[in-house]
Amino acid sequence: MRRWIKWTVIVVSAGMTLMLAFGAFIAYSFLTAKVDTVGKVDFDRELAVPPLEEGTVDEQGRRVFDLTMQRGETDLGRDEPTPTWGINGSYLGPTLRAERGEEVLVNVTNDVGEPSTLHWHGMHLPAEMDGGPHQMFDDGETWSPTWRVDQPAATLWYHPHPHGETAKHVYRGLAGMFILDDEEEAALPLPREYGVDDVPVILQDKEFDGSELDTTHGFFESNGILGDTMLVNGTPGPYLDVTTERIRLRLLNASNARVYNLHFSDDREYDVIATDGGLLPEPVRRDHLLLSPGERAEVVVSFEPGETVVLRSDEQDAGSRFTGASDRLDILQLRAADRLERSPEVPDHLADPPDLDRDDVEKTREFELQGTVINGKDMDMERIDETVELDATELWRVRNTDGQPHNFHVHDVQFAIVSVDGSPPPAELAGRKDTVFLPEQSEVELLVRFTDYADPDSPYMYHCHLLRHEDAGMMGQFVVVEPGDEAGEVSGDHAGHHSGHHD
Ligand code: C2O
Ligand code: CU
C-alpha cells in the first residue's frame, strides 16, 4: 500500500513537472517569438530597384520577354553571400511592363535544377497560360505562354506555383513585379518615373541561419516562416533618396506568411490610390494599411525638403501572432533632398469602380477556410471543385471559421468586395482585388465574373496565399465553361504541358 502511494506521488509529480516545463516553454516561445526592430535598423544601403524590362517587339507585334529562373548568391547583408534563387539575376526578377491591348509572349527557362512554374498573379488570361500547378516545366525546359493584356492598369506580380513547393521557391527569391499600363491611368497626373518617383517596394521578411536562408519553421510559424530581417527589393536596411515632392510606392507583399500594417514613423497620412487590380475610384487617406501575402497597394506620399521618415510595420489588432500581428518592423528609410521637384496634386477622381452589381448575381458559392482545407477538402490536382459559367456574375461568400488568419486569392479575375463581416467594405477595399485578408472568424462576400476564356479542361486555382497553407493543400480548382457545358477531366500528371526541350 505504502509503495503504491509512493509511486503514485512520483508519477503525478513527474507529470506535473513536465506540464509546467511545457507551459514554460510555450510562454517562453510566445515571448521570444515577438519581433521588434523599430529603431534598430541602420538603413545604410541604397534601395535596389529591380531593372525595368520592357521586352522587345517581334515581327508579329508581340511584346517578348525572356526570363531565366536560376540559382545564385546574393549579398543580403550577412557575413558571406547567401545562396538564393532569382530570375535573370541571383535574387528576385526584373519588373515587366506592358500596356493594355498588347499581346505578350514570355519565354521562361527553368535553370533551378528542379521542376517549377511561373504564375502571373492578378492577370486575366487563359488557364493554360496561367502558370499554375498544371503548367510545370522541368529544369532545362522553356515554357512560353502568350496572351493579350486586357485589364486596367495595375501592379501585378509573378512567382512560381509548383504544388507543394511554392513557399520554398518564393522564399528563395523567385518573384517579380508586372506593371500594366493603360490610357486612363496615363492621363492622370500621378508620379510615374520608374525608380525615381514611382518605386517598387517588394516586402519580404527573412530568417537567417548564419548566412543562409533558414527554411525551418519555429514554434509559432505554423502559417509559414516569420523572419526578423526585412528585405525590400532584396535590400536589407534600405534607404531611398526622395527628389520630388510626392512619390508613388508600389507595395507588394511577397512574403510567405507575414501581414504588414504599413505606417510611417511620424504617423503621417498618405493617399492609397490603387490596390491589387488597379486604381481606386478615389484616393483614400490613411495612416495605416494592412497588406497580407500576395496583396498590393499603391500609395502616394508627400515630403517636405530635408526630412527623413521611416516606413514601418506596426502591431495589428486583426490577425494573430502566426502572421506577425504582434511584431513591429522598420522597413525603409525615405530621405528627402533639400530641394524637391514639384509634383502635381493627387487627383480626386481616379477610375471607375468595378462594374459588378449584386442585383446581377446568378449563382452563390460558399467557401469555408478552416485549418489547411477549403470546404473540408484538401487540394486534389485531379478534382474540379467548381464549374463556373462564362460571363455569369457570381457571389462568392468566403468564411474563415478558424482560430487563425488566412487569406483568399482567386486566379484570372479581379473581384469586388461587397461586404466584410456583414458591413460595406472600407474605402481601401472598394476597388479591384484578387486577394483578400481574412482574420480569424471573419467573412467576406465577393462579386466575381469570369470573361473571355472558357476551357473545361484547364483549371484555375483559388487558395490561401499564406504559402505554407497553400502548399499543405489549402487550394481548390475551378474551370470556366460556356453556359451549359460541363467540366472536363484534368490529370494530376504534368506530361503534355511541357514545351521547349525534348530528349
Ligand atoms: Cu500568387 Cu495562386 O498565387
Ligand atoms: Cu491560410
pTM here is 0.93
Query: Using CA positions, which residue lies closest to atom 3 of ligand 1?
Result: 121
Task: Map grid coordinates 494530376 to a residue.
Answer: 492
Confidence of residue 502 (pLDDT cuts 50, 70, 90): very low
State in Å, rounded, how far the first CA of the chain is from the last one.
78
Closest to 400 in 3D by CA, of 443, 462, 434, 437: 443
What gap in Å lies between CA 153 and CA 119, rounded to an integer? 18
Mean pLDDT, residues 149-160 taken together: 98
Query: Is pLDDT at 298 greater than 90 in this prediction?
Result: yes
The dihedral of CA 369, 370, 373, 374: what is its sign? negative
Cβ atoms within 10 Å of 482's Cβ, excluding its own: 11
Nearest ligand 1 atom, CA 121 = 1
Query: Using CA positions, which residue lies closest to atom 1 of ligand 1?
Result: 121
Nearest ligand 1 atom, CA 435 = 1
Q: Per residue in 359-394, pLDDT tens? A: 999 999 999 999 999 999 999 999 999 999 999 999
| Residue 95 burial class via C-beta count within 10 angstroms: exposed 0-12, middle 13-18, buried 19 and up | buried
Confidence of residue 1 (pLDDT cuts 50, 70, 90): low
Cβ atoms within 10 Å of 298's Cβ, excluding its own: 24
What gap in Å lies between CA 118 and CA 107, rounded to an integer? 11
Closest to 205 in 3D by CA, of 218, 186, 190: 218
Q: What confidence score (pLDDT) does residue 46 get?
A: 98
Confidence of residue 23 (pLDDT cuts 50, 70, 90): low
- Report CA 462 to chain centroid distance, whole Å: 13
- Beta strand pairing call for 296-302 and 246-253: antiparallel
Q: How far is the CA of 210 from the centre of ligand 1 (A)?
A: 30
Q: What is the DSSP track for 32-58?
A: HT--B-TT-----EEPP-PPEE--EE-
What gap in Å lies between CA 225 and CA 324, rounded to an integer? 10
Query: Is pLDDT at 496 greater than 50 in this prediction?
Result: no
Query: Is pLDDT at 501 greater than 90 in this prediction?
Result: no
Query: Is pLDDT at 136 greater than 90 in this prediction?
Result: yes
Query: Is pLDDT at 102 greater than 60 in this prediction?
Result: yes
Q: How far is the CA of 355 from the centre of ligand 1 (A)?
A: 24
Query: Is pLDDT at 239 greater than 70 in this prediction?
Result: yes
Q: Per residue in 395-420, pLDDT tens? A: 999 999 999 999 999 999 999 999 99
Q: Are 433 and 413 in contact (CB under 8 A)?
A: no
- Ligand whose nearest atom lies closest to the CA of 130: 1
What gap in Å lies between CA 236 and CA 201, rounded to an integer? 12
* Single-letter code of the amino acid located at 344: P
